[in-house]
Amino acid sequence: MNLDNLHNKLITAARATPADDRVPYAFEKRVMARLAETVRVDLLGAWSAALWRGAIACLVVTMLSGAWLLRTEPSSEHAEFTPDFNAAVFNAGVFASAGSTDEVW
């Protein structure tokens, strides 16, 4: 059996078949409506993407600030001040409950 013959005949048949270029009625209107819809969706998408980007940026800033605070050791000046400050707060609380705040302030 000569398959080449059959192949050539079929290719010739396909070439002889004219391309069907019919376009459905008002197709261009449908395309334009769909495009308008996708553009609207894109605007919403862009807004949502911007919000997400903002949220991620805020999170990064928060984490960096937290890391920076954790790494920073308290200075000696603050270290000396802290017990006095705590004592003053404690005294204020004790004397306030006793009804006399003059000695504290």
Based on CB atoms, which residue is closest to another protein, 22 or 71? 22
Could you tell me the two tokens for 16? 């002889």
Least distance from another protein to the Cβ atom of residue 16, Å: 5
Based on CB atoms, which residue is closest to another protein, 30 or 53? 30
How many angstroms separate the CA atoms of 56 and 65, rounded? Answer: 14
Based on CB atoms, which residue is closest to another protein, 12 or 97? 12
Footprint of another protein on this chain (CB under 8 A)?
1-3, 5-7, 9-17, 19-24, 27-32, 34-36, 38-39
Least distance from another protein to the Cβ atom of residue 48, Å: 18
Based on CB atoms, which residue is closest to another protein, 30 or 78? 30
**Phi-psi bin for 15: left (phi > 0), alpha (psi -120 to 50), beta?**
alpha
Q: Tokens 């920073």 correspond to what residue? A: 72
Cβ pair 44, 37 in contact under 8 A: no
Least distance from another protein to the Cβ atom of residue 4, Å: 8
Q: Residues 6 or more apart from 95 whose CB is under 8 A from it?
A: 101, 103, 104
